[in-house]
């Protein structure tokens, strides 16, 4: 058996050979922290390719369907930009551009002969997290021991996307075993954040986040068990969606903790253009994935739900602002983004139901209320107890440091989770008496993390996303602003007695405005289980309000 370093070296050589040599560029000096402008200044992309890679998903699809742009041209443009992105931030694992271009040519030929598109994603290049098996390719998921294991068939979602007309062209980097909110492994190394390469892009879908931030893919697929779509989306300044369990098929993909079915990992879209969230979800759901994956939920795309039939048809929406989770107080840029979003919504005419959801007593526009704690810290502990129950055996000697718990102890944790889910539901329903709309709060707007993208190795708290996995609430991430050292200076009035505990203080003391400079600042919008359509629409409304306010 070769030494592991030999296996890795051989794998890296295979990866390098999959890159067209004429697309290799000289990256900027290491002292250049923000590399987002480099793909358009390096000279590799033509003016038309720059135009293509700056075009939103909905417009790309229209131009593909009308044959104004060919699938080959669009796939080539994004492939070139993806290869440049990889040389900047090390975001790719498998590169199969020849296969993608052959597929794109088939799609162009079909459209030319029939005058029809293959499906709703006709000709759209799509990048995939390094879990989604593709026939004939390795899926190492960061494990050296999985090098050389070639997939015999596609994951169900890959088949669905291909049937819809999509063109998979690259797969993206992750942390070994996935269960870490950054992106580093011993096979492919570390992915960095294109807005500031000294910062993490997050994880575990960090390769997707970094690639899409550099516009090397119009639409990608990440997975999320505790925040792995939303954290890299937030850290890289893009849009992302964590759907409810079973809305997107998972069958045939590789994963950690397989067989654990209390808190399921889900696949979700990541994109530069908000239109991409609806395009992806509608295409996948309309393909009837429940006929291909026994765990997929039998729920058709609901256009009435998208038009907010259960939310006053989008009039006088009422959002709850969660300023912090009662465990870790967010850094100044996150607080500023919440204030910006609140002001934008009020200006747009929605009710400013601005209270600390769920912990402290705060001022609403028309009253002062005590807000009942809703166990966010305990929800996070439940998640880790469930994940750790069998993780020692699952990860073997790779990542786990716990021996797990017994089956009976696991049942008690699952029972506790069930009870808290009911408590949270009752709590949400009870807000109907306070919103002034006759309905409960339409959605919660909250941080995706207590900080913008931190330095590598410093992403120490994920509970702002994990609680929604435990509750199975769908959630989007949307961009708001970037860290500005002038606007986001440290508040020296934030004395230790205002912190919840030492951990909270330690997180705050990480903050240095200059270190975080230029990092994207994003927020989450959270809805109720299986209401993806409404969550997407409400995110569009919030995004439009922010754009109007700017």
Confidence band, pLDDT 50/70/90 cuts, at residue 395 = low
Q: Are residues 189 and 331 in the same domain?
A: no
- 129 flagged as catalytic: yes
Q: Are residues 197 and 280 in the same domain?
A: yes
* Mean pLDDT computed over every residue of the chain: 92
**Residue that is last in its domain, among 240, 272, 295:** 295
Determine, yes or no, domain membership for 109.
yes
Q: Are residues 379 and 500 in the same domain?
A: yes
Taking Cα atoms as reference points, which of 91, 104, 70 lies closest to residue 19?
Answer: 91
| Res 336: pLDDT | 96
| Res 350: pLDDT | 56
Q: Is pLDDT at 396 greater than 70 in this prediction?
A: no
| Res 404: pLDDT | 72
Q: Are residues 43 and 65 in the same domain?
A: yes
Edge-to-edge strand ranges of the sheet holding 443-447: 92-95, 167-172, 125-129, 219-224, 266-271, 239-242, 475-482, 520-526, 443-447, 319-321
Q: Of residues 11, 80, 129, 282, which has the active-site annotation?
A: 129
Q: Are residues 191 and 340 in the same domain?
A: no
Q: Are residues 119 and 245 in the same domain?
A: yes
Q: Are residues 27 and 100 in the same domain?
A: yes
Confidence band, pLDDT 50/70/90 cuts, at residue 366 = very low
Least trusted range by pLDDT, from 31-40, 365-374, 491-500: 365-374
Q: Is pLDDT at 360 greater than 70 in this prediction?
A: no
Determine, yes or no, domain membership for 164.
yes
- 228 flagged as catalytic: yes
Q: Of residues 127, 183, 217, 228, which has the active-site annotation?
A: 228
| Res 362: pLDDT | 30
Determine, yes or no, domain membership for 351.
yes
Vertex 327 angle, CA 424 and 337, to 5° = 90
| Share of residues in the chain with pLDDT > 90 (%) | 83
Q: What is the pLDDT of residues 470-525, one digit of tens each?
A: 999 999 999 999 999 999 998 776 555 688 999 999 999 999 999 999 999 999 99
**Residue that is last in its domain, among 243, 273, 295:** 295
Q: Are residues 47 and 103 in the same domain?
A: yes
Q: Is pLDDT at 109 greater than 50 in this prediction?
A: yes
Determine, yes or no, domain membership for 167.
yes
Take residue 466 and report the two structure tokens written for it: 């994990």
List binding-site positions for substrate.
178, 204, 225-228
Neighbours of 113 (CB within 10 A): 8
| Res 393: pLDDT | 66
Mean pLDDT of 295-319: 94
Determine, yes or no, domain membership for 203.
yes
What are the DSSP calls for 154-206, one per residue?
A: --HHHHHHHHTT-EEEEEE---TTS-SSS-EETTTEE--BTTBTTB---SSSH
Mean pLDDT of 358-363: 32
Q: Is pLDDT at 359 greater than 50 in this prediction?
A: no
Determine, yes or no, domain membership for 55.
yes
Determine, yes or no, domain membership for 301.
no
Q: What is the pLDDT of residues 329-355, one digit of tens each?
A: 999 999 999 999 988 888 887 554 443
Neighbours of 396 (CB within 10 A): 11
Determine, yes or no, domain membership for 166.
yes
Mean pLDDT of 60-85: 98
State the Cα–Cα distance between residues 57 and 52, nearest whole angstrom: 10
| Res 437: pLDDT | 83
Q: Is pLDDT at 397 greater than 50 in this prediction?
A: no
| Res 434: pLDDT | 86
CB neighbour list of residue 496: distance below 8 Å, 6 or more residues apart:
505
Q: Are residues 444 and 387 in the same domain?
A: yes
Confidence band, pLDDT 50/70/90 cuts, at residue 1 = confident
Domain that holds residue 219: 4-255+262-295
Q: Are residues 284 and 400 in the same domain?
A: no
Q: Are residues 341 and 286 in the same domain?
A: no
Q: Of residues 79, 127, 204, 223, which has the active-site annotation?
A: 204
Output the domain CATH number for residue 165.
Answer: 3.90.1300.10
Tokens 């900047």: give the residue. 88
Q: What is the pLDDT of residues 151-210, one digit of tens each?
A: 999 999 999 999 999 999 999 999 998 999 999 999 999 999 999 999 999 999 999 999
Mean pLDDT of 2-7: 95
Q: Are residues 432 and 326 in the same domain?
A: yes
Number of domains observed in the structure of the chain? 2
Vertex 41 angle, CA 40 and 42, to 5° = 100
């Amino acid at each position: 058996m070769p030494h592991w370093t030999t296996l890795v070296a051989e794998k890296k050589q295979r990866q390098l050979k999959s890159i067209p040599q004429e697309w290799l560029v000289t990256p900027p000096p290491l002292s250049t922290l923000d590399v987002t402008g480099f793909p358009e200044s390096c000279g590799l992309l033509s003016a038309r390719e720059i135009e293509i890679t700056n075009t939103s998903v909905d417009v790309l699809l229209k131009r593909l369907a009308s044959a104004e742009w060919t699938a080959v041209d669009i796939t080539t443009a994004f492939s070139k930009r993806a290869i440049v992105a990889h040389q900047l931030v090390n975001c790719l694992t498998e590169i199969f551009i020849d296969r993608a271009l052959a597929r794109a040519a088939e799609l162009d030929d079909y459209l030319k002969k029939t005058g029809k598109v293959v499906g709703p994603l006709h000709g759209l290049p799509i990048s995939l997290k390094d879990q989604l098996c593709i026939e004939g390719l390795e899926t190492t998921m960061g494990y050296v021991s999985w090098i050389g294991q070639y997939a015999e068939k596609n994951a169900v979602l890959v088949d669905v996307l291909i049937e819809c007309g999509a063109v998979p062209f690259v797969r993206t980097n992750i942390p070994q075993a996935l269960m870490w909110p950054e992106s580093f492994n011993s096979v492919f190394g570390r992915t960095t954040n294109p807005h500031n390469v000294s910062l993490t892009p997050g994880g575990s879908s960090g390769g997707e986040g970094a690639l899409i931030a550099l516009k090397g893919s119009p639409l990608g697929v990440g997975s999320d068990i505790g925040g792995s779509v939303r954290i890299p989306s937030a850290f890289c300044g893009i849009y992302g969606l964590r759907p409810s369990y079973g809305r997107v098929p998972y069958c045939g993909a590789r994963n950690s903790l397989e067989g654990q079915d209390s808190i399921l990992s889900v696949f979700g879209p990541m994109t530069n253009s908000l239109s991409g969230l609806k395009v992806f979800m509608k295409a996948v759901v309309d393909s009837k994935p429940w006929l291909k994956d026994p765990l997929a939920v039998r729920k058709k795309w609901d256009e009435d739900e998208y038009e907010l039939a259960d939310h006053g048809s989008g009039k006088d929406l009422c959002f709850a602002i969660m300023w912090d989770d009662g465990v870790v107080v967010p850094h100044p840029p996150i607080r500023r983004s919440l204030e910006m979003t609140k002001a934008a919504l009020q200006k747009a005419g929605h009710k400013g139901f601005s209270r600390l959801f769920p912990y402290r007593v705060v001022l609403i526009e028309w009253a002062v209320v005590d807000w009942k704690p809703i166990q966010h810290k305990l929800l996070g502990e439940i998640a880790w107890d469930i994940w750790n129950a069998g993780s020692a055996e699952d990860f073997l000697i790779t990542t786990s440091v716990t021996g797990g718990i017994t089956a009976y102890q696991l049942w008690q944790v699952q029972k506790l989770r069930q009870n808290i889910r009911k408590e949270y539901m009752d709590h949400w329903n009870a807000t109907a008496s306070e919103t002034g709309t006759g309905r409960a709060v339409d959605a919660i707007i909250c941080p995706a993390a207590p900080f913008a993208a931190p330095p590598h190795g410093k992403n120490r708290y994920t509970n702002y996303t994990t609680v929604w996995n435990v509750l199975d609430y769908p959630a989007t991430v949307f961009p708001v602003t970037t860290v500005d050292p002038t606007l986001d200076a440290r508040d020296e009035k934030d004395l230790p007695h205002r912190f919840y505990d030492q951990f909270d203080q330690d997180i705050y003391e990480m903050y240095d405005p200059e270190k975080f400079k230029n990092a994207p600042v994003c927020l989450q919008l959270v809805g109720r289980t299986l209401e993806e359509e409404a969550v997407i629409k409400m995110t569009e409304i919030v995004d439009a309000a922010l754009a109007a306010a700017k």
